[in-house]
């Protein structure tokens, strides 16, 4: 992208992409681990 505000959108896009990646990894790995830790039979 180029033009007015492109720096803002580039920074915002990287933050959004990082947040999505982090939340996906957290959901896939940490939630089952925490559930198996707290729900012991």
At 3 the pLDDT is 74
Q: Are 35 and 27 in contact (CB under 8 A)?
A: no
Tens of pLDDT, residue by residue over 1-41, are 677 778 888 889 999 999 999 999 999 999 899 999 999 86
At 10 the pLDDT is 86
Q: In terms of residue numbers, what domain contains 36?
A: 1-41
At 41 the pLDDT is 65
Using CA atoms, how far apart are residues 25 and 22, in angstroms rounded to an integer? 5
Count of structural domains within the chain? 1
Using CA atoms, how far apart are residues 1 and 12, in angstroms rounded to an integer? 13
At 1 the pLDDT is 60
> Taking the model in full, what pTM does it have?
0.59
């Amino acid at each position: 992208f180029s033009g007015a505000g492109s720096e803002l959108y580039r920074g915002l896009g990287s933050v959004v992409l990082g947040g999505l990646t982090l939340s996906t990894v957290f959901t896939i790995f940490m939630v089952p681990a925490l559930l198996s830790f707290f729900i012991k039979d």
